[in-house]
Amino acid sequence: MGGYLMQKHRALPAYVPGEHAEDDSFIRLNTNESPYPPSPSVAAAVAREVGQLSYYNDPDCTALRAALAGLYGVQPENVAVGNGSDELLAFAFYAFADADHPIALPDITYGYYDLFAAVYGIPLRRIPLKDDFTVDVDAFCGAGCMIVLTNPNAPTGYAISVDQIERIVRSNPQSVVLVDEAYIDFGAESCLPLIGKYDNLLIVRTYSKSRSMAGARIGYCFGCADLIAQLEVIRNALNLYSVSRMAQAAGEAAVAENDYYMDNCRRIMDTRRMTTDALREMGFEVLESLGNFIFARCPQMAGAQLAAALRQRGILVRRWDAPRISEYLRITIGTREQMETMLEAISAILV
């Protein structure tokens, strides 16, 4: 690589995303996308905005923030919107931590946090999940630094309760507790009611999973008005126009059709139940997930080998060469038909 990159960035690890398959030749169960399309009015809303593309988009995302505030029973000042939740997470890391203010997080969680911390020079305090992969809540209480928790966690799918989150938030008043609720619509309980009570709680969410719009790049977050204003200082300085006209309109249209998305979530939860039971029947260890994915280990075959065999049969799943989890596959819940195809493929591989 050329020599212009600042020395401090040269050792940055590369984020390794799930394999990107652009065509339909694969069943994509590796990036936790929704198998269902966006609701009908989204396409029309996007098309309308195309005619306005010569004009800048609203930097304040006024209509989308108002729509989200209405849907979730908060005020627009409690909401910020970003270009995918990854952007909001990156802004939050930059806003609320630095080289002298570390972040505590579980050792097994969403991998992009490592990159945000690395690029900003934020030290990470990794608090191991317990042996059963549950979050060590007591270890986070009174941590005395910013805390980042995915709830439900990825890739385990295990959630902690609102009471447990409240204990962590209450015991850590001098630092922000960021709860990433990317997968909250698949059965776990949101800690949203707590934002009225605590000024250090930031909840980050995404349209990429339950709202079928990973490619639109829409993230949003909730917090008390003052915390959101603090986050906006960084958003304002770095990328004020990051949520395109099309994304804002798509996001607003989706709020108006919320029932469609919640129906899809129920379908995914039913399919998760069916898939979990079927894999357990085949002898797999499957964690009881509250996400749109399951985390499963095959007793008869190494994880890497099984993932490769599934890929050969046109099915992509995700796995990591990481301590404690290298034998597990994270399998996104697709349609019932896709999961039946996957189960048949696994049966054929294991005979």
Residues that bind ligand PMP (CB under 6 A): 32, 84-86, 110, 150, 154, 180, 182, 206, 208, 214, 219
Q: Which is nearer to ligand PMP, 297 or 318 (CB)?
A: 318
To the nearest whole angstrom, how small is the minimum distance from the Cβ of residue 81 to ligand PMP? 11
To the nearest whole angstrom, how small is the minimum distance from the Cβ of residue 255 to ligand PMP? 16
Q: Which is nearer to ligand PMP, 122 or 178 (CB)?
A: 178
The Cα-based distances of 3 to 11, 96, 99 in angstroms read 13, 31, 25
Give me 157's structure tokens. Answer: 């799918």
For 321, how many CA atoms within 13 A lie in the half-sphere containing its CB?
3
155: preceding bond cis by omega (within 30 degrees): yes
Q: Which is nearer to ligand PMP, 164 or 346 (CB)?
A: 164
Helix 336-350 to helix 258-281 angle (10° resolution) is 20
Q: Which is nearer to ligand PMP, 92 or 154 (CB)?
A: 154
Q: Which is nearer to ligand PMP, 234 or 282 (CB)?
A: 234
To the nearest whole angstrom, how small is the minimum distance from the Cβ of residue 32 to ligand PMP? 6
To the nearest whole angstrom, how small is the minimum distance from the Cβ of residue 86 to ligand PMP? 3
Q: Which is nearer to ligand PMP, 145 or 154 (CB)?
A: 154
Strand order across the beta sheet in which 79-82 lies: 79-82, 219-222, 201-206, 177-180, 146-150, 103-106, 124-127
To the nearest whole angstrom, how small is the minimum distance from the Cβ of residue 326 to ligand PMP? 19
Q: Which is nearer to ligand PMP, 57 or 242 (CB)?
A: 242
To the nearest whole angstrom, how small is the minimum distance from the Cβ of residue 285 to ligand PMP? 22
Q: 308, 319 in Cβ contact below 8 A?
A: no
To the nearest whole angstrom, how small is the minimum distance from the Cβ of residue 152 to ligand PMP? 9
Four-residue CA torsion sign, 170, 171, 175, 181: negative
Tell me the β-bridge partners of 124: 103
For residue 47, the tally of other CB atoms under 10 A from its CB is: 11
The span from the first CA to the last CA of the chain, in angstroms, equals 47
Q: Which residues contact 111 (CB under 8 A, 6 or more apart)?
A: 15, 16, 320
Indicate the residue type of 79. Answer: V
